[in-house]
Chain A
């Protein structure tokens, strides 16, 4: 498309700035414990670091009384002094409902606001009531700023990674957070897939690979086939509530039990729990290198000392590690392969530094895992590669799958699966359902995600109702429920009744998500430049459309220019010039109008081209018929 356009430029004219040249696109690994931002340029990935050379931005947000936020190392340092104003591990709450959080009660180092009406969780931080989306947006803003400082230009587009096992609600929440931070999400990419991309492209890996990704709060396992620039995910599994945080928790419980044994039971404040978790984490990290150590616990004004050696640590976390091993087995079985077929194992996530994890992974797959790329940076590296591929083009092909089955609830609380797990995305599938009572005029559709057979054991994604079904006998209505999952792994559901044609369409944005209203209020509240930002986006869209229209006309003129009289050609040329000069300005309506008038002026030309096309096709058809390959002969013989 670019080349015909060049031919038509008059000397001295400047082409429309391409929608990708003035701003930059980055790759972001938004982690439970730490986040990383990277950018690709000049054939290599640069992981962006702070003044001290640190790439990891702790995913920690501290709020001041006025609501302003501090992110990263500084926020982490405030954790001990002002624990009530600091949030950690917020990723664990993305897309979670109040009910989910109850089941995690006590394992989360924050105070959850009791919300009466289900819906998204809110946290009480420094006297403010905040959603996980808003808190994550602060982390993303900090990463965006780091990139902008580094590059000296606006960064407004990003590839953001999510755990492969993230469900629809968590993916939507992540995308919303990016929007709040002023980032357009080019693509949500699964973390293990991003890591595989980095390994495949940087290290030239080919064959069947397993990515074992154990982060702070999530575990993902993906099996991929990699060859010649193709990254095909064959199966994926995991647990979105299993990670290094749980190791810390096991150790903290051990310390607290020891303490209770000597001092008696006492209830701890959330600040004290946070401190216990910090000591536990320190212990876990130290024991990756040394064999034993001693840590202190301060609470209620008394200090206790706790000795821990590596063997005890491993006994404490072994049940958690075995859960990951079981999930590995399941993924291999899903794909119908054995550990012996696996050519390499890529370790991702800080928790894979724990010696027991490495040992068990090596045992399960019968080989030492690969460690060519820093496990903390490999996901951001892959995200940056994908951001480059999406904005500047690439031959790499990334084929991912749905991590969890999608379906709807049917009679008796059962689940009818419509899209099974490990189906390549994008995917669209439909299934017909019918009424079960005479005269039934409405149908409730309950969208579910998960592998269990009973609806209440799966994750509820949305409820919606289809009204206006004509009263018929039971079983007569034909209701088609269609599921579509896009390349980001996001689901849209629509329902359609055949005899009346009534239709309902829902982007699944429901049970635990933010409504569009809440979203726009947040955008308005949190971004002084929300309006400008929106205007910039709209003008970019119009420019892209102008570019498309110019390219199309230029190509048509190049192909069928002989159908044009000189004066018509001149008029088209003028209209194109008008589009180009409109697109160089900032008036979106002017661009749209110029594009419309270009399409109007070229309509007669298009009709002549179509006539010629039809004549040529008919002529070609006749030639083929008389040419009579063996197939055609056979065909005619039977008729």
Chain B
């Protein structure tokens, strides 16, 4: 029941009832449905619609995203909307195409990366359920884990040791993403939120292994 309610909330947030009323095309003044990037009559490019990233790229609102499909949608839309298509058009069209391309890049960058996707989805689905977002998770196990790993990294003084820690972090990241997917599938937003925070720590750690390796010096 709880899960169903959340889904309904998203529908309301992303597809308001007023959307059925078309907007006027800035160029030919004719009607354009709210989410259309182009006027169906005169083909002029329209401002980006205020929709979530999933809808913008024509994807279902869920954590599991097929990367090939994501790429294809993104490329198809950029092919039509990128500023390169409007280089010789009016200033207004150039501006609108830039806004469309910005919105597409934002959606693509967010959904392509599992961490940003999870974070975004938690906020999208959980705005009513988790008012504080994912930032105030008081998870001692997580804090301990991250402190231990960080200490191990500070103590590592050979490239091999750093490599080992990085391999472990990468494996943990892959496992964590898999678990997040299961939790979203089960509608367990709080669980997904907790693991998203863990994923953030793990990512940071993997990033720091790179810095540490550079500090230790050459040898690659």
Taking beta carbons and an 8 Å cutoff, which residues of A are in contact with B?
1, 19-20, 186-187, 230, 329, 333, 386, 389-391, 393, 395, 397-399, 423-428, 484, 486-487, 541, 544-545, 548-549, 551-553, 555-556, 559-560, 602-603, 606-607, 609-610, 612-614, 616-618, 620-621, 634-635, 637-639
Contact = CB atoms under 8 A, between A and B. Distances in A.
B84 A548 contact: no
Given A397-B84, A555-B41, 18 more contacts: A187-B84, A393-B85, A398-B82, A399-B78, A424-B108, A427-B105, A428-B102, A487-B83, A487-B101, A548-B27, A555-B43, A556-B30, A609-B30, A610-B24, A614-B21, A618-B20, A620-B20, A638-B7
Contact of A544 (B85, B89, B101): B89
Contacts of B90: 541, 544-545, 548
B152 interface: no
A606 B24 contact: yes
B31 A424 contact: no
Interface in B13-67: 20-22, 24-25, 27-31, 33, 41-44
Contacts of A19: 88
Contacts of A393: 85
B5 interface: yes
A607 to B, nearest CB: 8
Contact of A329 (B27, B28, B105, B220): B220
B87 A1 contact: no
A389 B82 CA distance: 12
B84 A610 contact: no
Nearest to B9: A638
A426 B41 contact: no
11 contacts: A187-B87, A395-B79, A426-B83, A549-B27, A559-B41, A614-B21, A617-B21, A617-B22, A634-B4, A634-B7, A638-B8
B200 interface: no
Interface of B: 4-5, 7-8, 11, 20-22, 24-25, 27-31, 33, 41-44, 75, 78-79, 82-85, 87-91, 93, 98, 101-102, 105-106, 108-109, 210, 220
B102 A426 contact: yes
Contacts of A545: 90
Contact of B109 (A20, A424, A606, A610): A424
B31 A613 contact: yes
Given A548-B27, A551-B42, A427 B84 contact: no
Contact of B98 (A390, A486, A606, A621): A486
Nearest to A20: B88
Contact of B20 (A20, A621, A635): A621
B84 A487 contact: yes
Contacts of A386: 84
A552 B33 CA distance: 17
Contact of A612 (B7, B27, B31, B82): B31
Nearest to A540: B88
Nearest to B32: A613
A553 B88 contact: no
B53 to A, nearest CB: 14
A617 B220 contact: no
Contacts of A617: 20-22, 31, 33
A390 B79 CA distance: 12
Contacts of B101: 426, 487
B67 to A, nearest CB: 12
A26 B89 CA distance: 18
B106 A390 contact: no
Q: A-B pairs with the 7 shortest C-beta distances?
A: A613-B31, A606-B29, A552-B28, A555-B42, A390-B87, A552-B42, A621-B20
Nearest to A18: B88
A390 B88 contact: yes
A560 B28 CA distance: 11
B28 A426 contact: no
B75 A397 contact: yes
A556 B4 contact: no
A486 B102 CA distance: 9
A391 B30 contact: no
A623 to B, nearest CB: 11
Contact of A391 (B27, B29, B44, B88): B88
B207 to A, nearest CB: 10
A549 B42 CA distance: 10
Given A20-B88, A613-B22, A617-B21, A635 B11 contact: yes
A551 B5 CA distance: 47
B75 A487 contact: no
A60 B20 CA distance: 62
A397 B79 contact: yes
A230 B75 contact: yes
Contacts of B109: 423-424
A178 B63 CA distance: 47
A154 to B, nearest CB: 16
A513 B82 CA distance: 28
B87 A639 contact: no
Interface-central residue, B27, B43, B220, by most chain A CB under 10 Å: B27
A190 to B, nearest CB: 13
Nearest to A631: B11
A635 B98 CA distance: 35
Given A548-B93, A552-B28, A555-B41, A186 B75 contact: no
B210 A333 contact: yes
B76 to A, nearest CB: 9
Contacts of B28: 552-553, 555-556, 606
Interface-central residue, B29, B85, B101, by most chain A CB under 10 Å: B29
Contacts of A187: 84, 87
Interface-central residue, B21, B87, B93, by most chain A CB under 10 Å: B87
B24 A544 contact: no
Nearest to A420: B109
A606 B24 CA distance: 9
Contacts of A397: 75, 78-79, 82, 84
Given A638-B4, A638-B5, A559 B30 contact: yes
Nearest to A612: B31
Contacts of B105: 423-427
Contacts of A602: 29
A423 B116 CA distance: 14
B20 A487 contact: no
Contacts of B30: 556, 559-560, 606, 609-610, 613
A187 B109 CA distance: 23
Contacts of A559: 30, 41
A372 B128 CA distance: 59
B31 A609 contact: yes
Nearest to B218: A326
A398 B84 contact: yes
Nearest to B91: A541
B12 to A, nearest CB: 9
A399 to B, nearest CB: 7
A426 B20 contact: no
A545 B27 CA distance: 10
B8 A639 contact: yes
A614 B22 contact: yes
A118 B127 CA distance: 50
